[in-house]
């Protein structure tokens, strides 16, 4: 039976067919739909699912379950693996009893990430097997294979889809859902405690297991060789689809070796190289496959010319597509370049990313910009919707590095520029993710900063997932929420304030007071994301009162506001937040009922 599934949904389906017992995640594009699909299926199929506070926690929860023999899956995006790197490296040594699969979605391009890092490199670093799917069907099948491989080797296994595989849809052949029949029980054993002497022995075991994985992959159905002459292409993942389509369009019949597993099957690759005079390696991001191919050619003293990223024939940055791969193959074959100029698409209007109409974060930034207008202040930022606070006209973020860094970078800046005022912005979900340790550090070292927690009651940017500050879990059960104010006070912060960013007068008074405090202070700016509430009113401009001063659109910048020749207008996407009416000096903006 076939079902139309997105690549991420296919991974979730594969996990359910594999009979998982536990699923954990921290949301991040392009991986988010993996867990969203799993959370929906959890009640029906009887496994546990949770959004964890961050990727490190998610991996450690999944590892604990796997220690007891349960099958566990954890999903995250590629930068999330940086957060989970510490447990991952030790877990490779310790190993697992039940199957443990890490879905780490890479984002070449990148479309929504700080980096283009290649998770296959992490696989090499940790000496863990990696499956690299190129289609939703392959993503589902590889998920099943990854669990089998994990249990055969006693190692965590990484499944590494990229953006296109994650989000493309395909008719996927689905199988039966396996019911877990294993006895799940943690057996006490010194092997679970990674002491220095044990780690040396475990490292030896890991090296043996890594070689064993390469042997197993010699017969993997995810590695395919097609011999059609002595000129060949070696490719992997979604790039395989581009290569096959490009060859069809060009009418060329080159030999093709597709690699879907890492470590690579050395005998298979060597056998392919022995039959080639020239080889082109096509892959996105880092030359992981190409480096292995060059190494094998050298080890076996093969006289084969190898092209790819190292001679700049294949770009090392950004996504590939069929057009780019066609140009690469043309160059490889010495064919004339395409002379037909592509039809230029019509010029599109510039549409810089911006906070939504009525977004409470915009009001929070406005409040603090007003509060520090006579101060020399720096605003440090973080990862989330509120990163868009750096855009004009607000221009309210001066830094953005990674999740949780806004709070800690403010402390570093304060140490070297004590005369300046430091304000760190962080979202509610991100505060639970990695903001708490930074705040404790500020308390412990008595660093004079103001931390602003933008509490919009959701994880908005990745699809409105719940977090520990909300009274609902991923599986829909009602639980007691962690109160941010109580938590912040428990971290040792004495000066804690709460404000509604839509109430400008009250919020500005609280902001000013927090900025006057010595030592760390925290302001929780609490108001639901506009996409969680249905507005009953909107606002409009009474043109006879508007003097066209521009305060509303020049300093506040809500995208629902725009200027026309005869004055300021408010569009229908107004969410009725009322902030523009509060800042209008002539009282020209009034509420009306939403039509």
Residue 577 is assigned to a ligand binding site: yes
Q: How buried is residue 40: exposed, middle or buried, by Cβ count under 10 Å (0-12/13-18/19+)?
A: middle
Tell me the C-alpha to C-alpha distance, in Å, between residue 71 and each of 53, 156, 299, 487.
Answer: 21, 11, 38, 33
Q: Cα–Cα distance between 580 and 541 in angstroms, integer?
A: 10
Query: What is the four-CA torsion angle of 498, 503, 509, 514, rounded to 10 degrees?
Result: 30
**Which residues lie closer than 8 Å to 200 by C-beta, 6 or more apart?**
none
Tell me the C-alpha to C-alpha distance, in Å, between residue 408 and each of 82, 357, 400, 404, 445.
Answer: 17, 30, 11, 7, 12
DSSP-derived 3-state class of residue 70: coil
- The pairing of beta strand 231-236 with beta strand 255-259: parallel
Helix 360-371 crosses helix 504-516 at what angle (to 10 degrees)?
A: 50
Q: Which residue has the tokens 């868009």?
A: 388
Q: Cα–Cα distance between 128 and 18 in angstroms, integer?
A: 20
Structure tokens at 341: 């100029």
Q: Cα–Cα distance between 336 and 560 in angstroms, integer?
A: 51
CB contact at 8 A, 471 and 480? yes
DSSP-derived 3-state class of residue 128: coil
Q: Which residue has the tokens 């990695």?
A: 434
- The pairing of beta strand 261-262 with beta strand 130-131: antiparallel
Residue 546 is assigned to a ligand binding site: yes
CB contact at 8 A, 450 and 515? yes
**Which residues lie closer than 8 Å to 339 by C-beta, 6 or more apart?**
none
Phi, psi dihedral angles at 384 (to 5 degrees)? 160, -175
Residue 584 is assigned to a ligand binding site: yes
255-267 burial, b if ≥16 CB within 10 A, otherwise e? bbbbbbbbbbbbe
- For the chain, the farthest-separated pair of C-alpha atoms sits apart, in whole angstroms, at 85
Taking the alpha carbons at both ends of the chain, their separation in whole angstroms is: 46
Phi, psi dihedral angles at 532 (to 5 degrees)? -100, -10
Full DSSP string of 420-487: SEEEEEEEHHHIIIIIHHHHHHHHHTT---EEEEEE-SSBTTTT-B--TTSSB-TTS-B-PPPPHHHH
Residue 385 is assigned to a ligand binding site: no
- The pairing of beta strand 231-236 with beta strand 72-77: unpaired
Residues annotated in a binding site = 546, 549, 552, 558, 574, 577, 580, 584
Residues annotated in a binding site for [4Fe-4S] cluster = 546, 549, 552, 558, 574, 577, 580, 584
């Amino acid at each position: 039976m076939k079902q139309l599934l997105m690549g991420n949904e296919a991974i979730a389906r594969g996990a359910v067919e594999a009979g998982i017992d536990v699923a954990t995640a921290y949301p991040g594009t392009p991986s988010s739909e993996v867990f969203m699909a799993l959370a929906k299926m959890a009640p029906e199929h009887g496994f546990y699912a949770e959004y964890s506070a961050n990727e490190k926690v998610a991996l450690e929860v999944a590892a604990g379950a796997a220690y007891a023999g349960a099958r566990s899956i954890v999903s995250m995006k590629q930068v999330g693996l940086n957060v989970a790197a510490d447990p991952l490296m030790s877990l490779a040594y310790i190993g697992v009893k039940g199957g443990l699969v890490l879905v780490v979605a890479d984002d070449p391009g990148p479309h929504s990430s700080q980096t283009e890092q290649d998770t296959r490199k992490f696989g090499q670093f940790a000496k863990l097997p990696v499956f690299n799917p190129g289609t939703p069907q392959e993503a589902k099948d590889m998920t099943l294979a990854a669990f089998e491989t994990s249990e055969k080797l006693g190692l965590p296994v990484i499944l590494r889809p990229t953006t296109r595989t994650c989000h493309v849809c395909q008719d996927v052949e689905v199988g039966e859902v396996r019911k877990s029949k294993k006895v799940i029980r943690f057996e006490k054993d010194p092997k679970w405690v990674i002491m220095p002497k044990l780690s040396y022995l475990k490292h030896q075991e890991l090296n043996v297991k890594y070689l064993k994985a390469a042997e197993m992959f010699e017969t993997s159905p995810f590695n395919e060789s097609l011999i059609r002459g002595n000129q060949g292409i070696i490719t992997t993942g979604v790039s395989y689809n581009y290569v096959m389509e490009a060859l069809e369009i060009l009418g060329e019949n080159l030999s093709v070796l597709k690699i879907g597993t890492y470590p690579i099957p050395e005998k298979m690759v060597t056998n392919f190289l022995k039959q080639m005079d020239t080889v082109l390696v096509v892959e996105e991001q880092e030359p992981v496959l190409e480096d292995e191919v060059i190494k094998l050619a050298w080890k076996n003293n093969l006289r084969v010319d190898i092209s790819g990223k190292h001679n700049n024939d294949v770009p090392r940055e950004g996504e590939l597509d069929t057009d780019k791969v066609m140009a690469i193959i043309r160059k490889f074959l010495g064919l004339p370049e395409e002379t037909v100029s592509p039809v230029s698409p019509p010029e599109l209007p510039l549409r810089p990313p911006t906070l939504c109409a009525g977004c409470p974060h915009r009001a929070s930034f406005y409040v603090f910009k007003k509060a520090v207008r006579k101060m020399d202040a720096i605003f440090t930022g973080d990862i989330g919707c509120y990163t868009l606070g750096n855009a004009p006209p607000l221009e309210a973020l001066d830094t953005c590095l990674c999740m949780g860094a806004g709070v800690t970078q403010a402390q570093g800046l304060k140490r070297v520029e004590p005369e300046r005022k430091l304000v760190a912005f962080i979202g509610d979900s991100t505060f639970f993710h990695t903001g708490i340790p930074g705040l404790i550090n500020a308390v412990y070292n008595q660093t004079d900063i103001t931390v602003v927690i933008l509490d919009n009651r959701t994880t908005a940017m990745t699809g409105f997932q719940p977090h520990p500050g909300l009274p609902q879990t991923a599986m829909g059960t009602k639980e007691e929420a962690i109160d941010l104010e109580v938590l912040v006070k428990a971290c040792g912060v004495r000066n804690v304030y709460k404000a509604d960013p839509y109430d400008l007068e009250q919020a500005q008074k609280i902001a000013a007071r927090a900025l006057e405090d010595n030592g760390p202070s925290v302001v929780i700016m609490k108001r639901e994301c506009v996409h969680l509430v249905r507005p009953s009113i909107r606002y409009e401009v009474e043109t006879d009162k508007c003097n066209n001063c521009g305060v509303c659109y020049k300093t506040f910048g809500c995208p629902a506001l725009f200027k026309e020749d005869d004055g300021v207008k408010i569009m229908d996407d107004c969410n009725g937040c009322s902030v523009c009416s509060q800042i209008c000096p002539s009282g020209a903006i009034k509420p009306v009922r939403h039509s």
